[in-house]
Amino acid sequence: MKNIKEFSEKEIAIYEGALELVAKYGFHGTSMSLLTKEAKVSTGTVYHYFSSKDDLMKKMYCYYRSKVEAHVSSHLQGEKEYKQRFYSRWMTLYLYYTQHPKVLQFFEQFINSPYNQERSPHHFTGAYFTFLKEGVDKKYLKPAKPEIYEAMYMGSVIMASKINVFGSILLDEGDRELLINKLWYGMADV
């Protein structure tokens, strides 16, 4: 996967256009002809970067996943203590998803679609898995499979984001702190 800065303006326009269309029409309703209009690029340009709609959706998932991970990492500069990084990662991801609900919606659709064919237990390789594995390995977290912690950690941030974005409940700062504290004390080896 390319570094976020290595994408051309046209590739980014295609990803952003596809994100809008998937949010509005879902995967099946997002056609290449609609995409060319939304992204303001030619059909040839789309097929220059992507061999098919399937290829686009898979690369789009990688693009937005990298973008989210880069965003979260940029907000952790200088934080050394594991507990602080635990809290900051959660909050930064929560704020990203609530400020970019179409990305959250796309991820949810993608993960639960045939596009997501990587269902092997060995696919846990992202920044959050690595971070939680570090917590287990360095004994900041209670002994457990990092996959279990990733389900707890990511499940809580995704559900909290969905409640805030798509539900009728606004989680204020106190609610978020309570959630993160419960998560930390359930997982931490204190």
- Predicted pLDDT of residue 122: 44
| Band of pLDDT at residue 113, cut at 50, 70 and 90 | confident
Please count the CA atoms within 13 angstroms of the CA of 171 that sit on its side-chain side.
22
Q: For residue range 15-46, list pLDDT tens digits in order.
A: 999 999 999 999 999 999 999 999 999 999 99
Domain residue extents for the chain: 1-64, 75-190
CATH of 75-190, one of 2.30.29.30, 2.40.30.10, 1.10.357.10, 2.40.50.140: 1.10.357.10
CA angle 31, 37, 40 (to 5 degrees): 130
pLDDT digits (tens, 9 = 90+) for 115-133: 887 654 445 678 889 999 9
| pLDDT at position 183 | 97
In the chain the beta strands, taken as DSSP E runs, fall at none
Taking residues 73-91, report their average pLDDT.
90
Residue 7 φ then ψ, to 5° = -85, 140
Fold held by 1-64: Arc Repressor Mutant, subunit A (1.10.10)
For residue 79, pLDDT beyond 80: no
pLDDT tens digits, 125-182: 788 899 999 999 999 999 999 999 999 999 999 999 999 988 878 889 999 999 999 9
36-73 b/e (C-beta count within 10 Å ≥ 16 → b): bebbebeeebbeebbeebeebbbbbbebbbbbbeeebe
Share of the chain above pLDDT 90, in %: 76
Tell me the one-letter amino acid at 77: Q
